[in-house]
């Protein structure tokens, strides 16, 4: 039961990682790429690490396994807080530097 | 079950190579910084998966924590550096020329 739950969590996380990578490759602009990676990467990392923490408890609830699972959930929580912060900082830097936003050709004139 | 984790780790490695394209050919410096940040997040997951494959989860979790912290600090430091050296980024002063603030 725990194994099936862990597989579902990890597969969903890898799906979001794939979406974030495709967005990073295909979007036309710095801000659009930030939009894709800032959300998809955070959710993918959170789901994958939650799945790993669940699977780690598969061999019985010993004290060591519970402590390792708590550490994994700490990483997930840290990424969930730190990744949007880093995204905000880089976007602020881009805005202050004045990176040119993408517009449709001809719509600007 | 070990094969499943190996397949997931290989998929994440392939996605890392895809993200490295943006890191090498990115038009601006900021694109490269995003690419490195995404690669660092994926590496955190890959390290945890390697620990699960080898059966040494208690050791690899600490390395994974250190990698997550270093990734966050590196991203913040480069963003702070770009705020003080604005002339690095091409196409700068786009908003100032048009009077947008």
Identify the pLDDT of residue A109.
Answer: 47
Asked whether residue A58 is domain-assigned, the answer is yes
Average pLDDT over residues A94-98: 80
pLDDT in tens, B22-61: 889 877 888 889 999 999 999 999 999 999 899 888 899 9
Q: What is the pTM of this model?
A: 0.86
Q: Report CA torsion sign: A8, A9, A15, A18.
A: negative
Domain that holds residue A47: 2-97
Asked whether residue A63 is assigned to any structural domain, the reply reads yes
Domain presence at residue B101: no
User: Measuring CA to CA, how many Å separate A31 from each of A92, B13, B23, B56, B94?
Assistant: 10, 25, 16, 40, 14
Within a domain: residue A103?
no
Supply the pLDDT for residue B88: 63
Residue with structure tokens 């994994």? A72
- Which stretches of A27-62 are DSSP H helices? 30-56
Does residue A79 fall inside a structural domain?
Answer: yes
* Nearest chain A Cα distance for residue B83, angstroms: 5
Q: How many domains does chain A have?
A: 1
The least confident of A25-29, B79-83, B89-93 is B89-93
Q: Is residue A105 part of a domain?
A: no
* Of A58 and A46, the one with more pLDDT: A46
Q: Does B45 map to a domain?
A: yes
Q: Which of A20, A33, A98 sits opposite B31 (nearest CB)?
A: A33
Model ipTM value: 0.87
Instruction: Tell me if A90 is assigned to some domain.
Output: yes
Quick check: B52 and B5 in contact, CB under 8 A? yes
Residue A69 structure tokens: 């699972």
What is the count of structural domains for chain B? 1
Range of the domain at B61: 2-85
Percent of chain A having pLDDT more than 70? 95
Which of A95-104, B67-76, B86-95 is predicted with the least confidence, judged by mean pLDDT? B86-95
A32-46, A51-65, B13-27, B81-95: the lowest-pLDDT one: B81-95
Interface of A with B in 37-76 (CB under 8 A): 37, 41, 44-45, 48-49, 52, 55-56, 64, 68, 71-72, 74-75
Residues of B in contact with A78 (CB under 8 A): 65, 68-69, 72
Residue A2: per-residue pLDDT:
85
Q: Which of B78, B43, B82 is nearest to B60 (CA)?
A: B43
Question: In angstroms, rounded to a whole number, what is the distance separating the alpha carbons of residues A26 and A75?
Answer: 29
Contacts of B28 in chain A (CB under 8 A): 30, 99
Q: Which residue of B12, B33, B35, B38 is the best one to mutate when testing the A interface, meaning the one whose CB has the most A CBs within 10 A?
A: B38
Contact A24, A36 (CB under 8 A): yes
pLDDT the model gives residue B93: 59
Is A90 within 8 Å of B33 when comparing Cβ atoms? yes
**Beta carbons of A93 and B30 less than 8 angstroms apart:** yes
Quick check: is A107 in a domain?
no
Query: Which residues in chain A are contacts of B94 at CB distance < 8 A?
Result: 98-101
């Amino acid at each position: 039961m725990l194994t099936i739950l862990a597989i579902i969590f990890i597969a969903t996380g890898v799906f979001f990682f794939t979406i974030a990578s495709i967005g990073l490759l295909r979007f036309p602009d710095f801000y659009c790429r930030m939009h894709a990676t800032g959300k998809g990467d955070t959710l993918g990392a959170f789901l994958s690490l939650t799945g790993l923490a669940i699977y780690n408890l598969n061999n019985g609830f010993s004290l060591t396994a519970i402590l390792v699972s708590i550490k994994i959930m700490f990483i997930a929580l840290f990424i969930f807080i730190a990744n949007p912060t880093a995204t905000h900082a880089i976007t602020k830097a881009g805005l202050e530097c004045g990176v040119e936003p993408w517009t449709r050709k001809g719509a600007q004139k | 079950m070990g094969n499943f984790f190996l397949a997931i780790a290989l998929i994440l490695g392939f996605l890392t190579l895809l993200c490295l394209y943006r890191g090498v050919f990115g038009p601006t410096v900021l694109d490269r910084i995003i690419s490195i940040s995404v690669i660092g997040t994926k590496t955190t997951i890959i390290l945890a998966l390697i620990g699960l494959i080898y059966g040494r989860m208690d050791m690899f979790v600490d390395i994974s924590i250190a990698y997550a912290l270093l990734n966050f600090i590196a991203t913040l430091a480069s963003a702070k550096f770009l705020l003080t050296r604005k002339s690095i980024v091409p196409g700068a002063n786009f908003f100032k020329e048009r009077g947008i603030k």
